[in-house]
């Protein structure tokens, strides 16, 4: 029986930043997860990671822009309150490939809870590194 280990958020975030900074663009959340997990397993082969978790952490990284490609227009599932701490949640926006702003999920500014609309809406994501010095050390 192999024990699995869940890497800490900040660890995943740091490795994701390194990868995006180097590669500039990653074409899907599965690709991104693959690269991050590869790196994580050099520290501990028992680490596990899901593509959705990586993406939900990326949402919190100001240097990384997420572009989402959808076949249909997003259907709104209303989430009013954070399920963790009950604070009102904010919408998270991304851009689609035409640079149009689209609603992709929710974030709680108090506890950091994030969720996406993917359950309703299968999407393909692009992850882009934004080279802006002023935000480099903000997270
Ligand atoms: Zn919360």
Instruction: Determine, yes or no, domain membership for 34.
Output: yes
39 in a structural domain: yes
Query: How far is ligand 1, taken at its centre, from the CA of residue 111, in Å?
Result: 4
Q: How big is the chain by its Cα radius of gyration, in Å?
A: 15
Tell me the residue range of the domain where 86 lies.
9-130
**65 located within any domain:** yes
Dump pLDDT digits (tens) for 61-88.
Answer: 989 988 877 655 545 557 888 888 999 9
Check residues 41 and 94 and name the one with the higher pLDDT: 41
Number of domains in the chain: 1
How many CB atoms neighbour CB 84 within 10 A? 12
Strands 124-129 vs 64-69: parallel, antiparallel or unpaired = antiparallel
Its pTM surpasses 0.75: no
Ligand 1 centroid to Cα of residue 89, in Å, is 7
Q: What is the mean pLDDT of residues 47-59?
A: 92
In a domain, residue 2? The reply is no
CA angle 38, 42, 48 (to 5 degrees): 55
């Amino acid at each position: 029986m192999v024990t699995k280990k869940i890497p800490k958020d900040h660890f995943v975030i740091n490795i994701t930043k390194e990868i995006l900074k180097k590669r500039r663009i990653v074409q899907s959340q599965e690709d991104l997860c693959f690269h991050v997990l590869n790196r994580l397993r050099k520290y501990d082969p028992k680490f596990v990671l899901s593509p959705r978790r990586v993406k939900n952490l990326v949402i919190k990284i100001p240097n990384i822009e997420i572009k989402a490609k959808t076949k249909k227009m997003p259907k709104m599932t209303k989430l009013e309150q954070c399920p963790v701490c009950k604070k009102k949640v904010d919408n998270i926006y991304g851009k689609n490939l035409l640079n149009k702003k689209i609603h992709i999920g929710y974030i709680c500014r108090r506890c950091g809870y994030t969720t996406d609309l993917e359950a309703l809406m299968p999407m393909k994501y692009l992850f882009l590194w934004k080279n802006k010095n002023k935000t480099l050390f903000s997270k």
